[in-house]
Amino acid sequence: MFKTTLDDQTCTCSSGKIEIAMNMETKSNNTKVCVTGAAGYLGSWLTRKLLQKGYIVHATLRNPDIYNPDEFEPAIEGCEFVFHLATPLQHNSHSWQFKDTSEAAVAGVRRIVQFCIRSGTVKRLIYTASVVAASPLKDDGISFKDLMDDSCWTNLPLSPSFPYGSDPLKVAAGF
């Protein structure tokens, strides 16, 4: 376990979670939230905003690994809200449990849901998906077929061949 203070943030690490608390004299919000995938673009932005609002954030970064979803339970313990943003981007070729990233992502979400229920403290699970889940990609898998903004919706086929986009669809289909 280590503890360090950076400017107005205190970081504590133990048993697979990093707890970050803001020393905010004007805020008295002691609500604990978990952000999985906090090292990603959305996760880091969300974590910053939550800290600014005075929340205590249990942030998972590169570890725990979604291929080992049980590693997320310590970060969820004691939290009222869980923002599940973590997802595998590449298949772990050493995985004996999952044949691809889709299986790992779906199993990970199911375990996260179980941990939230079992915790007895989680009031809400917020699960996010990539824009790739609802937008068609070019055949190269790198760019979108059309320019998109928040006013757009497509009747074109989704991108089921790209795991990062199809995983949230498979999760939704399972519930």
Pick 138 or 165 by higher pLDDT: 138
- Per-residue pLDDT for 1 more than 50? no
- Per-residue pLDDT for 164 more than 60? no
Using one digit for the tens of pLDDT, what is the confidence trace for 19-76?
Answer: 444 443 434 478 999 999 898 888 999 999 999 999 999 998 876 566 677 888 999 9
Using one digit for the tens of pLDDT, what is the confidence trace for 71-116?
Answer: 889 999 999 999 999 877 666 677 677 777 778 778 888 989 999 9
Q: Element (H or E) spanning 43, and its range?
A: helix 41-52
What is residue 7's predicted lDDT score, i.e. its pLDDT? Answer: 40
Phi, psi of 62 (to 5 degrees): -80, -30
What is residue 27's predicted lDDT score, i.e. its pLDDT? Answer: 45
Pick 27 or 145 by higher pLDDT: 145
β-bridge mates for residue 6, sequence order:
9
Residue type, 6: L
What CA–CA distance (Å, rounded) separates 22 from 30? Answer: 10
What residue spans define the domains of the chain? Answer: 2-128
Strands 9-14 and 2-6: antiparallel
**What's the pTM value of the predicted model, to 2 decimals?**
0.63
- Per-residue pLDDT for 137 more than 50? yes
What fold is seen in the domain 2-128? Rossmann fold (3.40.50)
- Per-residue pLDDT for 166 more than 70? no
What is residue 41's predicted lDDT score, i.e. its pLDDT? Answer: 85
- Residue 102: CB atoms within 10 A of its CB come to 19
